[in-house]
Amino acid sequence: MDEARAVVRRLRRIEALDRGQASAGSLLAEVRELLAEAEAWVRAEPGGTEPAEEALERCRDALAAGDRATAGVGAAAP
């Protein structure tokens, strides 16, 4: 249950940062932490969590794609 509370707290923090127009880097750091907390939640309460596991996988993929896209930002063109 503590894991679920951590996820809810992180979501509220992300919403507050977004309303406060926080930098993209700050929001991304919070989303990464959210992903880690959500993974802990799924491990702690594994029964019936298939939809959550699928959502986490999509989040991991999206973060990885974003990391690859931003890695090339500012790089010289070939």
**Where are the chain's structural domains?**
2-68
Each residue of 50-77: pLDDT tens digit? 887 888 888 888 878 877 776 665 544 4
10 close to 30: Cβ distance less than 8 angstroms: yes
pTM of the shown model: 0.68
Each residue of 5-36: pLDDT tens digit? 898 899 999 999 999 999 988 988 998 999 89
